[in-house]
Amino acid sequence: MFSDFDFDIIARSWVYLFKTGMAFTLELTVLAMLGGVVLGTLLALGRLSSFAPVALLAAGYVNLMRAIPLVLVIFWFYFLVPYIGAWVLGAPEPIKVGAFWSALITFILFQAAYYCEIMRGGIQSIPRGQVLAAQALGMGYWQVMGHVVLPQAFRNMLPVLLTQTIVLFQDVSLVYVLSVPDFVGAASKVAQRDGRLVEMYLFVAVVYFILCCALSWLARQLQNRVAIVR
């Protein structure tokens, strides 16, 4: 089966794959995770708001994003963001956003819907008595959230947030459809150049498997640590 397998193509290409492709994938993952958590937290607060229009708007956004395939959202924002930017800025021509920024905006807006539900569950896991006690001490809404609720919610939800980030790390490979040089895209270029698709895609699969298993192990360790603290 491996008689024609060319291991040398991996040895010649791994520096390029990691320096260019994996670096791009990790950069996009980290930035999208940070932006998604921030926006997701705001959406979670919106969903829990007692003001019905805000709650309905946040719920509608979350349900919409979770009902649309990610690859479709990527295409939408890649082609629409330049025109939306031109409309906002009043420019006569579409704004040159670029594949990276289009992909980053897409992943932040898309992943925020999933981080929102995680954060909403974490906020609701905090006993109501703590909120009432903080309010009795004279704290306002944002003080209660910033000093009492959100720190505990983040600690409780940290393993789940990391698990969702693993999913995000895998989903970033979909930017390959925009010809962006992520890890999969870089491997595809090498594979097509040298005619070694099996070797390259198998190497990519092994790398993703190792990294995702390592991150999953870290998530389990964090879950056990949080359980001990409780």
Domains of the chain: 8-229 (1.10.3720.10)
Distance CA 35, CA 40 (A): 8
Write down the pTM of the prediction: 0.84
Helix runs in the chain, H state only: 8-16, 23-47, 52-67, 70-89, 99-124, 128-136, 141-144, 150-171, 183-194, 197-229
2 pLDDT band (50/70/90 cuts)? low
Contacts of 144 (CB under 8 A, 6+ apart): 131, 134, 135
Rounded to an integer, the average pLDDT of 133-137 is 84
Exposure string of 65-76, with b = 16+ CB inside 10 Å and e = fewer, is beeeeeeebbee
Span 102-124, average pLDDT: 89
Quickly state the pLDDT bin for 127 (edges 50, 70, 90).
Answer: confident
Residue type, 55: A
- What is the percent of the chain where pLDDT is above 90? 28
| CA–CA separation, 102 and 77 (whole Å) | 6
For the chain, state the CA radius of gyration. 21
pLDDT interval class at 3 (50, 70, 90) = low
